[in-house]
Amino acid sequence: MAEAFFFDFTHETNEYRLEVPFDGAFRLRAKVGGDAPLGACEILARDMGEEIDASCEELCITEEGGVTRIAAEEMEAVLTLSPFSLAFFAEGEEKCRLTSLSKTSFAAPLDKTPVFGTGERFNVANQRGKKIDLYSIDRWCQTEGNSYIPIPLFLTTLGYHYFVNRFERMMFDLDSEETGVFSAEVLEEGVVDLYVFLTDDPTEVLYNYAYLSGFSPSVPDWAYGIHVSRHGGLREFGSIEGVLEMAQKMDEFDLPWDVAILEGWEPYDYLGIEDLKKLNAYLAAKGKRYLLYQSCGRYLDYKNKHARPAELEEMTQIHDEYAVSDALTGEVMLPDINIENPADAPNARIYRWLDVTHPGAREQWFEQVWAMFAKDCGCSGAKMDFCEQFPGNRPLNFHDGRSISGTHHWYPVYLNAMTHRNFAEKRGEDGAMLFARGGAIGAQRYPIMWAGDQLREWRFLPAMLRGVLTAGLSGVPFMGFDLGGYLVSRDPDNNPDVDIFLRGAEMACFSVCMQTHGKVRRPYDFEEDVIDVYRLYCNLHEALIPYLAEQGRVASTSGLPLMRHLFLSHPTDETVYAIDDEYFLGEALLCAPVMEGRDCRDVYLPEGDYIGLFDGKEYEGGTWLRDFPAPLSQTPVFVKKDHFSDVLGTCLAEAKEIIREIASLK
């Protein structure tokens, strides 16, 4: 018997290291050149100036008859090399085992269990039976095989869970051929870096994932509010006049709002900067905030129309040495990866890409340009778009000489996390928000995400909800969505504009934030009776902000999402495994939105006692409510009595009249 803090072994000429980084987890890494390379979490922590506690637990190692036992506390791994098998035990019970292992891949039996996680997914919550390309791409309006936030985190119902700690592209086969096998392959220049979490509680997995990849920063209260945005091509928010017109319309119809997202504004133009200062004075006086729109990493992408002061000219001068360059040609004008957005970008677009590893580039970007926006212009953050477009698929030169392997995923996470940190530091107590589409491991470091673009069609309401719930199951606690769709329907006869708008608003009321965006009809473009219903749900959402903030603080310290799949609170209830059209908002509100053209729906109440939010009736959990009434103006919501907090009680008491009015609508 021997004692050590890691166990090294060789299998088929490759070397590996097995260790226990903390209680409840084994870590298996392929070694390269005699060393175990840094994984994605360590790379991100290093680049952010942080450090992950790497003090591993002591192991007890015994070898007998070709079998090696590696034990720590109540866990044990049992290794045989011929034939290969690496089994993982907790409290004496085998939980899972690897049956093949190479430097870049592994395979394991997949028991009869659902599989949750793998990042944002629009098709279904349970990914069992899917073959998944874990690569951040923009397959516009596709719900199958599309993800802006792929995360190689894999949750089961049987007490074992996998996390592959690499930024590189991966392939997961979750038993697509029904052979009972899960396989994973790390592509590019990546190697296996596998965490095996052994616990029956999926919330522990999310905590451990956040411990490794970073907990989400706190979200300021105002960011939970109502966001107003429009498609940049419309240029509606490209001027002071356009923003003021929106504000006046919202006042005219008595519609609350908190944040304007200035998509379409030219932030680097001199007159635009001066106008921002004037606009900020107006918005600040009304208690409103604004975000600027930015394409992720595009180095000062602007068309300068006006002469500028010398200091501003220097601040926003494009320096080629601050840009990522092609490793073969030295060219800095590089095409985005363009996979694949036929609606917005049928052809690759050419940009300079900020080299965030260059100290001079970071100084210019964060301490000059964005510091000016945050401090002088009162900007509260940015909407960061196209985070899946960085061209990490070609040979590149970075200032610090790093490998390009995995940079397609690393780049937006690091840039966005640093941008959010910079805004938070500059804005101080008022707080900051980075609204982003896209990322990978560590994407929770820049709240809030949004789920992507979609049409105003019935099929996209459940797709957006699945995207939010699967992201939450993968360690991304805060995600919003365009509540009424982004573009108009291609089939308006079967997708009534009013119905989808109202159903989207009802769901968004019970979500992280309410955002209207795109080229669709604006809230004040509808008929008066529709506006009246929308106003009620906006007012109810505003009343719930203290509860959202309370639950958001839980999310920032636990890794739990604000909108939670039922599996997280009821992991042993087999009924919830197939449900991805209900969720808990925080701990206490069970929401069952209507996302099709019906005036009722089936609702499953997991174990517990509930009170209907709008009907005030008591309901016992562990049962289905069949054909539960849900007229167009109402959405089924239930309060779980044993998780009823004082904060929620105050919110609901203050919203009593709003709730009563909604309940009276037919």
Q: Quick one: pLDDT at residue 341? A: 62
Read off the pLDDT of residues 257-311 as tens digits, 9 standing for 90 and up.
Answer: 999 999 999 888 888 899 999 999 999 999 999 999 999 999 987 666 677 788 8
Which residues of the chain have a pLDDT value below 50? Answer: none
| Amino acid in the structure at residue 78 | V
Q: Quick one: pLDDT at residue 410? A: 98
Helix (H, G, I), strand (E, B) or coil at 245: helix
CATH number of the domain where residue 104 is located:
2.60.40.1760
What secondary structure letter does DSSP report for 355? -
Q: Is residue 180 part of a domain?
A: yes
Q: Quick one: pLDDT at residue 302? A: 65
Check if the beta carbon of residue 504 is closer than 8 Å to that of residue 511.
no
Check if the beta carbon of residue 548 is closer than 8 Å to that of residue 586.
yes
Question: Residues 67, 162, 117, CA angle at the centre, nearest 5°?
Answer: 160
528-558 helix and 656-664 helix, angle to the nearest 10 degrees: 130
Question: How far is it, in rounded angstroms, from Cα 58 to Cα 6?
Answer: 8
Question: How far is it, in rounded angstroms, from Cα 133 to Cα 141?
Answer: 17
Phi (first) and psi of residue 479, to 5 degrees: -150, 135
β-bridge pairing 381-385 and 289-295: parallel
Read off the pLDDT of residues 152-203 as tens digits, 9 standing for 90 and up.
Answer: 999 999 999 999 999 999 999 999 999 999 999 999 999 999 999 999 999 9
Check if the beta carbon of residue 620 is closer than 8 Å to that of residue 578.
no
Question: Which helix or strand (DSSP H or E) is residue 47 part of?
Answer: helix 40-47
Q: Quick one: pLDDT at residue 373? A: 96
Question: How far is it, in rounded angstroms, from Cα 322 to Cα 27?
Answer: 37
Cα torsion through 210, 443, 292, 143, rounded to 10: -130
Check if the beta carbon of residue 86 is closer than 8 Å to that of residue 27.
no
Q: Is residue 66 part of a domain?
A: yes
**How is 357-418 classified by DSSP, letter by letter?**
T-HHHHIIIIIIIHHIIIIIS---EEEEE-TT---TTS-EE-TT----TTHHHHHHHHHHHH
**Number of domain units in the chain:** 1
Handedness of CA 155, 161, 166, 169 (dihedral sign): negative
Question: How far is it, in rounded angstroms, from Cα 40 to Cα 42?
Answer: 6
Which of 422, 454, 453 lies closest to 438, judged by CA?
453
Q: Is residue 212 part of a domain?
A: no
Cα–Cα distances in angstroms (integers) from residue 113 to residues 24, 159, 161, 201, 381, in the given order: 20, 10, 11, 15, 41
Cα–Cα distances in angstroms (integers) from residue 447 to residues 364, 377, 478, 627, in the given order: 23, 22, 6, 36
Q: Quick one: pLDDT at residue 141? A: 80
Q: Is residue 241 part of a domain?
A: no
Q: Is residue 226 part of a domain?
A: no
Q: Quick one: pLDDT at residue 649? A: 97
Question: How far is it, in rounded angstroms, from Cα 95 to Cα 85?
Answer: 13
Length of the chain: 666
Q: Quick one: pLDDT at residue 301? A: 72
Handedness of CA 204, 123, 606, 95 (dihedral sign): negative
Domain range for 86 is: 2-200
> What are the contacts of 602-606 at 24+ separation with CB within 8 A?
602/626, 602/627, 602/628, 603/628, 603/636, 603/638, 604/566, 604/575, 604/576, 604/579, 605/638, 606/566, 606/569, 606/570, 606/573, 606/575, 606/576
Radius of gyration, CA atoms only, the chain: 25
Q: Is residue 37 part of a domain?
A: yes
Q: Is residue 63 part of a domain?
A: yes
Token pair of 56 as six digits: 């591993």
528-558 helix and 202-213 helix, angle to the nearest 10 degrees: 80
The tally of CA atoms less than 13 A away on the side-chain side of residue 490 is 6
Check if the beta carbon of residue 337 is closer than 8 Å to that of residue 389.
yes
Q: Quick one: pLDDT at residue 539? A: 98
- Cis omega (within 30 of 0) for bond into 340: yes
Question: How far is it, in rounded angstroms, from Cα 293 to Cα 385?
Answer: 8
Which of 458, 485, 479, 475 lies closest to 467, judged by CA?
479
Token pair of 607 as six digits: 């174990």
Q: Is residue 114 part of a domain?
A: yes
Question: How far is it, in rounded angstroms, from Cα 337 to Cα 346?
Answer: 12
